[in-house]
DNA sequence: ACACCTGATTTGAACGTTCAACACGACATT
DNA sequence: AATGTCGTGTTGAACGTTCAAATCAGGTGT
């Protein structure tokens, strides 16, 4: 009826509980002959160790918490779901599973994590959507709950994190456009203050500067909220300027899509590169900077599980991964 | 150090283990005076019952398995992530959490579910992306693992399912277009055989028929794989016909986006309605049929958990929910 | 022949919870 | 006065696993 236990296997193989356990966890301690006998019994009964009992005994659930957040209403399908899948896949390799939970806000998230951790349901948590000054890392650190953050807060020397090199992404976009012959390259981002947005702006500015193209580009740095409408509007502003740009680097695919809409409506000539390589980018033939999300997933799990016992514990707390530019028609040289 | 246990609370309140347990699970059995004492002790120590121990004792993990699948490379961000969030939210209300796992194919999914179920990690599973003749429902039924399916296989009298009324969705799209003055309304779907696709085709055909518009509409029913390119190509075919349609109902937003691309390239007059209301639909100003995904989430959890003990067990195995048409510029009357 | 080790296996205990059975006093019934 | 019943609280046992300590046979060396 009920799934077989070690005891059942032991009885079938004519040995004791612990010997069965040893066959699974420390085979070298068991005489090959006995081991074979136990293994056939396991096979025949289709025995699988009960994870719950293991968790209780070992005081570790091998579960990682993850807050699934509602989609941002205006976003074109964020990279959130790609990340989630990458995380699950990476967890599988490390024999960890994800436990999903919901929360109303960052405070609530910390509270829920604490509850789950206290209850033994999760060993740690992966944080997504880190903002500068995010209350979650300090909160969890104080509660001594293991976690790893996707993104940086500005004060992240104390905890494991993984991040995309956002500046390198926009810089790569600029390089690509310069190679394509563009000299006036605008930036459309969201307002200063958001760490991610600022880094993407920095990459654009630095790359322009390296090519000596920054002078007289002040009017080409526009900001607004992350929405289609804003992208559209800012594109109007750019195109209506006496010396309009010939190319735009956008901080998100959403903004890029807005720009593209205006461009296509007005039949203007304006190369566009977005950021995140959302599914929509493919649909719109929009060049975009793609985050190496699978690598991020693996790095997050590694960072969360910490140094494997035996390795040197003084490993770096953070890891920065390079994104990749996907070139499509929206930025093809004319 | 370690989180407090019932024993700790009991000691602090000067009672026994079981009394603490009773305060939490059967308060009416405890004298109000004692109950108050225990409750303050719980409060002070910040006690939370250990879920793992509860699971071991009760032989139920209160976890629901869910296979997270990689994104379809050509899809414009499916409704998958919306569904996942709705499911997590619905689970919260029922004190259930989701456990994510990955799998290579349906067979592998069944195998992984069995492993997790045998290991006591999950009580049941929610199936997504059901196809006609899907091997998962019969497989899980044979293994006696509780599950609920989002979608129908064609032979689903035997298990709980929840589905969108796909036919009603395309029918609503037709109604909307007829009201807008359209008389030649085409359908672009994917090939026959896929249950979902066929139902969406049926809805279109039936609605046309009710308005007496089906005669001479044979050439307006086109099929192909679910991709942008196909949508584009089929739109060309429609527009090149001697009596082209004035409107198109597409089986997916992906196909609709393809149609829209051609339409806008050729500056043709062709109203378009998609299906799924993906984020991309908003970006393209595409009218689309929206699935009531939050309601589906709750219905799935209810269906999975089955009749609450006390209610009549002979409840219906399936539930059909009506979608809603979201009207945008792509189908606005000219 | 004795103590001593080594390898293979077994038994006891514990993780934290809740069900089942039991103990005890107060009060009601006959 | 003996018996029953209820309300409140206790202790024992069990869920399935693995760590720690105990057991036991089979050598090896002196």
Closest C-alpha to A68, from A85, A54, A50: A85
Residue B71 has pLDDT above 80, yes or no: no
Residues B277, B222 share a domain: yes
Contact call for residues A148 and A211 (beta carbons, < 8 A): no
Q: Does residue A272 form part of some domain?
A: yes
Dist CA B238 CA A11 (whole Å)? 71
Task: State the nearest residue by CA to the C1' of C20.
Answer: B18
pLDDT over 70 percentage in chain B: 94
Share of chain A above pLDDT 90, in %: 77
How many Å apart are A16 CA and D24 C1'?
15
Residue B300 shares a structural domain with residue B158? yes
* Domain ranges, residue A174: 166-291+325-331
In whole angstroms, give the CA distance from residue B225 to residue B232.
Answer: 12
CA-to-CA distance for A158 and A314, rounded, in angstroms? 12
Q: The domain that contains B184 carries what CATH number?
A: 3.40.50.2300
Cβ–Cβ of A85/B70 closer than 8 Å? yes
A70 — contact with chain B (CB < 8 Å)?
yes
Chain B residue with the nearest C-alpha to that of A114: B48
Beta-bridge partners for B223 = B189
pLDDT, position B316? 59
Q: What is the pLDDT of residue B278?
A: 85
Per-residue pLDDT tens over the stretch B33-42: 999 999 999 9
3-state helix, strand, coil in chain A (%, to 5): 45, 15, 35
Residues A182 and A270 placed together within one structural domain of the fold: yes
- Distance CA A31 to C1' D3 in A: 64
The pLDDT of residue B312 is: 53
Rounded distance between C-alpha atoms, residue B78 and residue B308, angstroms? 33
Assess whether pLDDT exceeds 60 at residue A221.
yes
Answer yes or no: is pLDDT of A274 > 80: yes
Indicate the DSSP class of residue B309: B
Rounded to whole angstroms, the distance from the CA of residue B163 to the C1' of nucleotide D21 is: 58
Residue A157 has a pLDDT of 79
Query: A61 beta carbon < 7 A from strand C?
Result: no
Q: What is the pLDDT of residue B307?
A: 61
B29 touches strand D (CB under 7 A): yes
Q: Give the rounded percent of residues in chain B with a pLDDT score beyond 90.
A: 78
Task: Evaluate whether residue A25 is within a structural domain.
Answer: yes
Reply yes or no on whether the pLDDT at A91 is more than 80. Answer: yes
- Among B75, B82, B280, select the one facing A71 at the smallest CB separation: B82
Whether residues B278 and B244 share a domain: the answer is yes
Task: Give the pLDDT score at A150.
Answer: 94
Given a cut of 60, whether residue B100 has pLDDT beyond it is yes
- Could you tell me if B281 and B173 lie in one domain? yes
A278 and A313 housed in the same domain: no
What pLDDT sits at residue A102?
94
Q: How big is chain B, counted in residues?
A: 334
Domain identity same for B271 and B316: no
Q: Which residues of B touch A3 (CB under 8 A)?
A: 118, 120
Average pLDDT over residues B202-226: 92
The pLDDT of residue A280 is above 90: no
In A201-230, the residues whose Cβ lies within 8 Å of chain B are 228
Average pLDDT on B195-212 reads: 93
> Is A57 within the bounds of a domain?
no
Token code pair at residue A48: 């699988």
> Looking at the domain assignment, is residue B76 inside a domain?
yes
Q: Do A100 and B101 touch (CB under 8 A)?
A: no
| The B247-250 sheet, strands edge to edge | B221-223, B185-189, B247-250, B271-275, B287-290, B324-326
Strand C contacted by B58 CB (< 7 A): yes
With CB atoms and an 8 Å threshold, state whether A77 touches B77: yes
As a whole number of Å, the CA-based R_g of chain A is 26
| CA-wise closest residue to B170 among B216, B209, B129, B206 | B206
- Extract the tokens encoding B171: 């029918």
Per residue in A229-249, pLDDT (tens digit) is 899 999 999 999 999 999 999
- Closest CB to A82: pick one of B71, B257, B280: B71
Distance CA B199, CA B307 (A): 29
**Stretch 146-185 of chain A: residues touching chain B, C-beta under 8 Å:** none
Query: CB B154: neighbour CB atoms within 10 A?
Result: 10
A157 neighbors A167 (Cβ within 8 angstroms): no
The β-bridge relationship of strands B324-326 and B287-290 is antiparallel
* E strands in B62-190: 63-67, 97-101, 124-127, 147-150, 161-164, 185-189
Q: How far is B244 from chain A (nearest CA, A)?
A: 25
- For chain B, the average pLDDT equals 91
Statement to judge: residues A147 and A190 lie in one domain: no
pLDDT reported for residue A76: 55
Counted domains in chain B: 3
As a whole number of angstroms, the distance between CA A315 and CA A319 comes to 10
Q: CA-CA distances (angstroms) from residue B253 to B64, B76, B233? A: 30, 7, 15
pLDDT tens for A186-219 read: 999 988 777 888 999 999 999 999 999 998 887 8
User: What is the structure's pLDDT at A14?
Assistant: 94
Structural domain contains residue A53: no
Q: Are the beta carbons of B76 and A77 separated by less than 8 Å?
A: yes
Closest Cα to residue A136, out of A64, A67, A37, A83? A67
Same domain, B139 and B103: yes
Residue B32: CATH number of its domain? 1.10.260.40
| pLDDT for residue A306 | 78
The pLDDT confidence band at residue A315, using thresholds 50, 70 and 90, is low
Question: Does B181 share its domain with B40?
Answer: no
CATH of the domain at A20: 1.10.260
Contact B119 A51 (CB under 8 A): yes
A287 falls within a domain: yes
In tens, the pLDDT along A17-51 reads: 999 999 999 999 999 999 999 999 999 999 999 99
Mean pLDDT across the stretch A107-126? 97
- Chain pair A-B, CB pairs under 8 angstroms: 144
pLDDT digits (tens, 9 = 90+) for B145-192: 999 999 988 778 789 999 999 999 999 999 999 999 999 999 999 887
| 3-class state of residue B258 by DSSP | helix
Looking at beta carbons, which residues of chain B come within 8 Å of A282? 74, 76, 228
- Asked if strand C comes closer than 7 Å to B5 Cβ, the answer is yes
B277's enclosing H/E stretch is none
Domain check: are A146 and A92 in the same one?
yes
Indicate whether A285 and A174 sit together in one domain.
yes
Least trusted range by pLDDT, from A306-310, B10-14, B46-50, B201-205: A306-310
What is the share, in percent, of chain A residues with pLDDT greater than 70?
94
The helix or strand, by DSSP H or E, that contains position B41, with its residue range, turns out to be: helix B32-45
Mean pLDDT of chain A: 91
Q: Is the CB of A56 under 7 A from strand D?
A: yes
Tokens coding B205: 């055909």
What local confidence, expressed as pLDDT, does residue A78 receive?
62
């Amino acid at each position: 009826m009920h799934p077989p236990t070690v005891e059942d296997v032991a009885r079938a193989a004519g040995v004791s509980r612990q010997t069965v356990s040893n066959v699974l966890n420390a085979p070298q301690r068991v005489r090959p002959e006995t081991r074979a006998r136990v293994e056939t019994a396991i096979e025949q009964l289709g025995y699988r160790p009960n994870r719950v009992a293991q968790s209780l005994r070992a005081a570790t659930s091998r579960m990682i918490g993850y807050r699934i957040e509602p989609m941002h209403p205006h976003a074109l399908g964020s990279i959130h779901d790609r990340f989630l899948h990458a995380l699950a896949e990476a967890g599988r390799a490390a024999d960890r599973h994800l436990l999903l939970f919901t929360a109303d806000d960052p405070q609530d998230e910390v509270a829920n994590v604490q509850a789950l951790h206290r209850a033994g349901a999760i060993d740690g948590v992966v944080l997504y959507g880190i903002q500068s000054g995010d209350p979650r890392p300090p909160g969890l650190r104080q509660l001594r709950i293991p976690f790893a953050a996707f993104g940086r807060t500005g004060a992240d020397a104390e905890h494991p994190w993984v991040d995309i090199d956002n500046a390198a992404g926009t810089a790569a976009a600029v390089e690509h456009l310069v190679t394509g012959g563009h000299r006036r390259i605008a930036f459309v981002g969201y307002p200063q203050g958001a760490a991610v947005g600022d880094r993407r702006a920095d990459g654009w500015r630095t790359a322009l500067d390296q090519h000596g193209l920054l002078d007289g580009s002040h009017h080409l740095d526009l900001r607004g909220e992350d929405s289609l409408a804003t992208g559209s509007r800012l594109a109007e502003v750019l195109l209506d300027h006496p010396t309009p740009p010939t190319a735009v680097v956008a901080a998100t695919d959403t903004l890029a899509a807005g720009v593209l809409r205006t461009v296509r409506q007005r039949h203007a000539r304006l190369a566009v590169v977005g950021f995140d390589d959302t599914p929509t980018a493919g649909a719109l033939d929009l060049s975009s900077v793609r985050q190496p999300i699978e690598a991020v997933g693996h790095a997050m799990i590694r960072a969360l599980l910490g140094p494997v016992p035996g390795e040197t514990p003084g490993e770096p707390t953070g890891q920065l991964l390079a994104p990749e530019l996907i070139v499509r028609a929206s930025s093809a040289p004319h």
